[in-house]
Amino acid sequence: MTQSVPTSSNSVSPASSKFLTTAELRKSFIDFFVSKQHTHVPSSSLVPYNDPTLLFTNAGMNQFKDCFLGIDKRDYSRAVTSQKCVRAGGKHNDLDNVGYTARHHTFFEMLGNFSFGDYFKKSAIAYAWEFLTSAQWLALDANRLYVTIYETDDEAFDIWHKDIGLPAERIIRIGDNKGAPYASDNFWAMGDTGPCGPCTEVFFDHGAHVEGGLPGTPEEDGDRYIEVWNCVFMQFNRQPDGTMEPLPAPSVDTGMGLERISAILQGVHSNYEIDLFVNLINSAADLLGIKMKTKLP
Ligand code: GLY
């Protein structure tokens, strides 16, 4: 599956030879992972069932928390979902970014694949790369992709560099940049306690005409290089006193914002310009009797 990776990075070529609607993208993601022996599980409720640590569902992995902890046994060890999420409070609160960036929402949909003690880093990275870049799936221009890894995760570095073929300068190490051990953009936790682990994130370059810098630079919050997919290597169960207990088995939890990847596959820079939002905006205008039509991408 390895695709050769060009080394120049200032391409303004189309992101992909394909155009996919949001609905087609959601289906494509689910079809891809079903073809890799994942069970398609429906989105869970926005209000988590039986979890006092969360007010709203903030990630696809919430409904599988007990599977990662080894408490809940299902008849599958691989799952794929398109999960409705709210990030307007608590951990992973995006509220202050909404309206200021082209990519944050309070309510959005997260595509995710999960392994409960089944595959780990190597397959998680290989699946992500295959789905994003292979001609059969999204056919994204690999030249516009960068990745971050947790600073000490040499294993993830080697997989990206040696197995996938990504040049070393396109793999960025991020340490504990949030002021405490394991407080890092590349160490993901669903809340103050519970399953957590180092992660690798895939970034897409929207092009030099958009302001923003690479992850780890002072300009990283701009909209040029945006995180599209976070692959978490679930390894620990964080306790209330901060200690990290190993999970029963290394696992995988990934999350890709449906609206962000739709923007890329629809050749627009802002999430608000994708078919999903344009149709909503036009319907709202019709209902209000406002004569305006925003063009579909
Ligand atoms: N659970 C991975 C994420 O939300 O990014």
Query: Which pLDDT tens digit goes with each residue over 111-123?
Result: 999 999 999 999 9
Which pLDDT does position 12 carry in this prediction? 58
At residue 63, does pLDDT exceed 80?
A: yes
CA of residue 255 to ligand 1 center, whole Å: 5
Decide: 254 and 113 in contact? Cβ < 8 Å: yes
Taking the CA of residue 253 as reference, the ligand 1 atom at the shortest distance is 1
Residue type, 246: P
Task: Write the residue with the smallest CA distance to atom 3 of ligand 1.
Answer: 255
Spatial contact of 106 and 95, defined as CB atoms under 8 Å apart: yes
**CA 289/CA 200 separation, integer angstroms:** 46
Q: Is 234 in the pocket of ligand 1 (CB under 6 A)?
A: no
Beta strand extents in 121-161 (DSSP E only): 145-150
Q: pTM to 2 decimals?
A: 0.93
- Residue 188 Cβ inside 6 Å of ligand 1? The answer reads yes
Summarize the confidence of residues 177-204 as an average pLDDT: 95
Distance from the Cα of residue 48 to its chain's centroid: 20
Q: How many CA atoms, within 13 angstroms, populate the side-chain half-sphere of residue 158?
A: 6
State whether the beta carbon of 59 lies less than 6 angstroms from ligand 1.
Answer: yes
Residue 211 has pLDDT above 90, yes or no: yes
Crossing angle of helices 121-133 and 22-34, in 10° steps, is 140
Residue type, 139: A
Please give the distance, rounded to the nearest whole angstrom, from the Cα atom of residue 241 to the centre of ligand 1: 23
Determine if ligand 1 sits within 6 Å of the CB of residue 232: yes
Is the pLDDT at 93 greater than 50? The verdict is yes
Q: Which of 133, 137, 26 is nearest to 81 (CA)?
A: 26
Where residue 242 falls (left for φ over 0; alpha for ψ -120 to 50; beta otherwise) is: left
1.20.1070.10, 3.40.30.10, 3.30.930.10, 3.40.50.300: CATH of 22-284 = 3.30.930.10
Nearest-5° angle of CA 171, CA 176, CA 182? 110
Would the CB of 194 count as within 6 Å of ligand 1?
no
Atom of ligand 1 nearest to the CA of 190: 1
pLDDT band at 237 (very low <50, low <70, confident <90, very high): very high
Counting from 1 in the atom list of ligand 1, the atom nearest the Cα of 85 is: 4
Domain ranges within the chain, ordered by starting residue: 22-284
